[in-house]
A and B are shown apart, each in its own frame.
Chain A
Amino acid sequence: DVKVTQSSRYLVKRTGEKVFLECVQDMDHENMFWYRQDPGLGLRLIYFSYDVKMKEKGDIPEGYSVSREKKERFSLILESASTNQTSMYLCASSHSLPEAFFGQGTRLTVV
């Protein structure tokens, strides 16, 4: 079974803090994704990566950056957290097949 693991289930951070969300997958997948999920808006793509050190902006990249130094790990960085970044963050990975497999999610609250 594919396993996508996010480092935290719940996080509470202060406005202005730099926040790191980590994601690790164990299936040697090329593609990795970061989404955020908000009520009524569904999942929106923040960034994705199709190879080590490669990244592409998704639909809502503002205020975020990413890092992929190793194939199995994809990090999402909030450069200066703001209250409107309070959300559920979901990491996913996929191989050449289009199905994406998701982690358990990180619920981030910025106060």
Chain B
Amino acid sequence: QQQVKQSPQSLIVQKGGISIINCAYENTAFDYFPWYQQFPGKGPALLIAIRPDVSEKKEGRFTISFNKSAKQFSLHIMDSQPGDSATYFCAASIATDKLIFGTGTRLQVFP
């Protein structure tokens, strides 16, 4: 019940396309859902986050869509660029404490 399931494992997108990564959770007590971006040899960096009282949050080309009833949330990267090539992790936490991470999605954007 503490798991966060992430898909797909890998994603190949052409430059300018839309990248979509999905996550699902079981524990309805989760109240904070961040996305982290990790480049090779670097630690994860917070990209964007959402709380369950809103259905969508947008920051630049990155959008989180949240479906509370389905217990799913997704990351959309609009106009994907080669510089977006990285591994993306969704996560969830209760009361901003321990983060439970998904298994990651390796995104490759080709020019």
Binding between chains A and B: no
B residues contacting A by CB (< 8 A) are none
A residues contacting B by CB (< 8 A) are none
